[in-house]
Amino acid sequence: GPISTKVNLEADQVELTLANITTELAALVQQNILDGAKVTIKRILYSEEYASGMELVIFVGTVDVAFNRQVLVLTCTSILDSLNIMVPKNIYQEPCNYRLFDAGCTKVAGDFERSHKASANSTDLFTLTDVGLSVADNYYALGRLEMTDGRNKGAKRLIRRQIGDVITVVVAFQFPIKMNDHYKAYPGCNKRPEVCRDTFTNQENFYGFSYVPKPEETMFG
């Protein structure tokens, strides 16, 4: 599609559509291989003496991926969109300023990795049943899992919720989960002090401000 350029503060965008992609590429897309990919579009001034110096860069950006059957749609947003990153980095807010498993959090993902296997065939593409979980409800909510064998091998998914022995993911698997499919799971964090304390025993590194008044309390309290 055309490159959309605006004179206001909105970032430029362009949409690329790739039709009839191969099964191999489709499988890689399902494994999030294009997450954070960078796209560069150039206009080539071709001649018999063509050289790289005769290329004109007209767009540089990052992609948001949509996939349907054999059609891959890349919505590309200008690299200038990174200027929307909130500054300063740390703000006075109730949720923790750190990201789970980053340097400030100090916890290591590998220490919380658990290997499991599905105990039943799934009836849809969003759920996985495992009677061997033996963890509290939503221990894995907002976490992630990675399939280590079966038809979905290599697929990584964010976990929407986990109630009892059923895990529900955010994005559908390409194939239904089968009994005895193995996977690795990592717990998630909602950036609240109770999860930091109870799940990760990391309250000393919690970097939120639990006693900052909520906006409505500041205005009307």
The structural domains of the chain, ordered by start, are 13-81 (no CATH), 109-205 (2.40.30)
| CA end-to-end distance (rounded Å), the chain | 51
How far from 25 is each of 76, 127, 136, 150, 199, CA to CA, in Å? Answer: 19, 24, 37, 18, 37
pLDDT recorded at residue 6: 59
Q: Determine the average pLDDT of the residues in 4-23.
A: 74
DSSP class of 154: T
pLDDT recorded at residue 9: 52
pLDDT over 90 at 112, yes or no:
yes
pLDDT recorded at residue 43: 82
How far from 66 is each of 16, 17, 43, 54, 103, CA to CA, in Å? Answer: 10, 10, 25, 33, 32
pLDDT over 80 at 213, yes or no:
no
Q: What is the dihedral of CA 97, 98, 100, 105, to 10 degrees?
A: -130
Between vectors from CA 154 to CA 151 and to CA 37, what angle results, nearest 5°? 130
Residue 106 phi, psi (nearest 5): 80, -15
d(CA 76, CA 66): 11
For the stretch 52-72, pLDDT in tens is 567 788 888 888 888 777 888
pLDDT over 90 at 80, yes or no:
no
pLDDT recorded at residue 36: 78
d(CA 76, CA 60): 8
pLDDT over 70 at 177, yes or no:
yes
Residue 16, amino acid: L
What share of the chain in percent tops pLDDT 90?
Answer: 50
d(CA 36, CA 61): 10
pLDDT over 90 at 92, yes or no:
no
What share of the chain in percent tops pLDDT 70?
Answer: 88
pLDDT over 60 at 78, yes or no:
yes
Q: Which residues pair with 17 in a beta bridge?
A: 73
What average pLDDT does the structure give for the chain? 86
| pLDDT band at 25; cut points 50, 70, 90 | confident
d(CA 124, CA 177): 8
Taking the whole predicted model, whether its pTM rises above 0.75 is answered as no
pLDDT over 80 at 46, yes or no:
no
pLDDT over 90 at 3, yes or no:
no
d(CA 216, CA 211): 14
pLDDT recorded at residue 85: 72
